[in-house]
Amino acid sequence: MKQPINATPYPQDTHRIHILDSEAVFEARADLNLLVAMEKARAQGIGIGCRGGGCGKCRIRVLKGEYDSKRMSRAWVSEADEAEGIVLACRIFPRSELVVESEMLPLAEPYQPRSSSKLQSAAIK
Ligand code: FES
């Protein structure tokens, strides 16, 4: 599963990704996070939101394979979750073939970018 960050991968290194929910299969560059790689491949199956680890929409469970990761927001992924392979797709980088499935949390309200929330708050006052 999660591996310590190694030397910077070569951009030409690619790994096959399987998303069980959508049955999507695509090649992902090792230097791109999994969410960006999915978008570049025009594949679907992982929720797309902020792309920066802040909204939780890209939460997935890695069922098989190796990856490096950046720090996860504990608002969306607990330490126990992370130990079970639950991660944010926008924060992981494939290091082998991966098999993943969506692990979205029920959100109380749809995600809105922070700037939009501020604008709405300002409009309400
Ligand atoms: S897209 Fe928002 S946390 Fe990944």
CB of residue 90 inside a 6 A radius of ligand 1? yes
Please name the residue that has the structure tokens 């501020």. 118
Average pLDDT value over all residues in the chain: 84
Q: Of residues 8 and 51, which shows the higher confidence score?
A: 51
Ligand 1 atom having least distance to the Cα of 50: 2
Chain segment 25-82, per-residue pLDDT in tens? 999 999 999 999 999 999 999 999 999 999 999 999 999 999 999 999 999 999 999 9
Does position 125 have pLDDT exceeding 50, yes or no?
Answer: no
Task: Show me where the domains of the chain are located.
Answer: 14-124
* Whole-number pLDDT of residue 104: 78
The atom number, within ligand 1, closest to the CA of 91 reads 4
Q: Where are the beta strands (DSSP E) in the chain?
A: 14-19, 24-29, 59-64, 67-69, 86-88, 92-94, 98-102
- 1.20.1250.20, 3.20.20.70, 3.10.20.30, 3.40.50.740: which CATH number matches 14-124? 3.10.20.30
**Confidence tier at 83 by pLDDT (50, 70, 90):** very high
- The SS3 assignment for 85 reads coil
